[in-house]
Amino acid sequence: MDDFTSIRNFVCATLQRKGYSTLGASNGTEAYKILTENADKVNVVLTDYNMPDVSGFDLLKMIKGNPAVAEIPVIFLTTDMSYDKMKNAKEAGLFAWIKKPYQLEEFFGQIEKASSAPVKSN
């Protein structure tokens, strides 16, 4: 999810070239709706932190608060490097924080780790 169409399209195209299927959203409300309607098809949520409508952090809290989707790993792909925001996001259940501009190795490495992360049992 990214509010900038060009960034969203670039990230989706990059993932698709590596064989991933993607679903795109332009804001947190749309992303949450798409996620809950397609929970069985989603292995990872990749979102920006700074978003209009619903921030990436608020989306993270919504996801982790819904048992139907809470186990899906969430990764932030963002320019924001605030230590407090990173700490709060990790405490809320964030899987990874990737700084833009990102290195492809780190990007795909985190996607692979998140895709193969074991499901936690409560």
The Cα 2–Cα 108 span in angstroms is: 18
List the domain range (segments joined by +) for residue 86: 5-115
Enumerate residues 6+ apart whose C-beta is below 8 A from 82: none
110 domain-assigned = yes
121 domain-assigned = no
Q: How many domains does the chain have?
A: 1
Give the model's confidence band at 121: pLDDT under 50 very low, under 70 low, under 90 confident, else very high. Answer: very low
84 domain-assigned = yes
81 domain-assigned = yes
- pLDDT at position 86 is 92
122 domain-assigned = no
- pLDDT at position 2 is 53
Model pLDDT for residues 1-27, shown as the tens digit of each residue: 555 676 777 878 888 888 888 888 888
- pLDDT at position 117 is 62
Question: Do residues 82 and 52 touch, judged by C-beta distance below 8 A?
Answer: no
- pLDDT at position 115 is 85
80 domain-assigned = yes
- pLDDT at position 61 is 96
Rounded to two decimals, what is the model's pTM?
A: 0.84
The Cα 47–Cα 73 span in angstroms is: 11
Model pLDDT for residues 56-112, shown as the tens digit of each residue: 999 999 999 999 999 999 999 888 888 899 999 999 999 999 888 778 888 888 888
Direct distance between the N- and C-terminal alpha carbons of the chain, in angstroms, rounded to an integer: 28
Model pLDDT for residues 39-56, shown as the tens digit of each residue: 999 999 988 888 878 889
CATH of the domain at 17: 3.40.50.2300
Question: Do residues 78 and 48 touch, judged by C-beta distance below 8 A?
Answer: yes
Question: Do residues 57 and 88 touch, judged by C-beta distance below 8 A?
Answer: yes
- pLDDT at position 1 is 58
120 domain-assigned = no
